[in-house]
Amino acid sequence: MKRAIELSKKNIEHGGGPFGAVIVKDGKIIGEGFNKVTANNDPTAHAEVEAIREACKNISNFDLNGAEIYTSCEPCPMCLSAIYWARLSKIYYANTKKDAAEIEFDDDFIYTEIPKPISERKISMVQMMRPEALEVFKAWQVSTVKIKY
């Protein structure tokens, strides 16, 4: 956790957001990340996502089962989802989402959007071309070269 906090502190010295994350497996750091949203003009470049990307690259695997993440703040909905997709085994965090909201990093609007019916969400969602897209799903389902994840 000390390293995650150190990364978050160091990042603000360069104008970045105050977030850092470290992924550990078998007692070794396999990935680190800090918030690069403004540096990369990438709204997905949160510390946890950056740490996941680096860890997966370093171990040449998209499955981080058995690894743990240490993050300087409770993960936002996007990062929490990425952590689940990466199959991390445990999350350690320092600051809370309430602490983040108090410095104007408020993810609560996303938490309130998720359970709403699609028709009531702030961003309009329109389904189209489902039959064509289902054909691709069917092809994947019977593929003999697919890699399940």
**Contact (CB, 8 A) for 100 and 74:** yes
- The active-site residue out of 6, 13, 32, 48 is 48
Which H/E stretch holds residue 56? Answer: helix 47-59
Active-site residue, 104 included: no
SS3 content of the chain, % helix, strand, coil (to 5): 45, 15, 40
Distance CA 14, CA 129 (A): 45
**Contact (CB, 8 A) for 91 and 83:** yes
Catalytic annotation, residues: 48
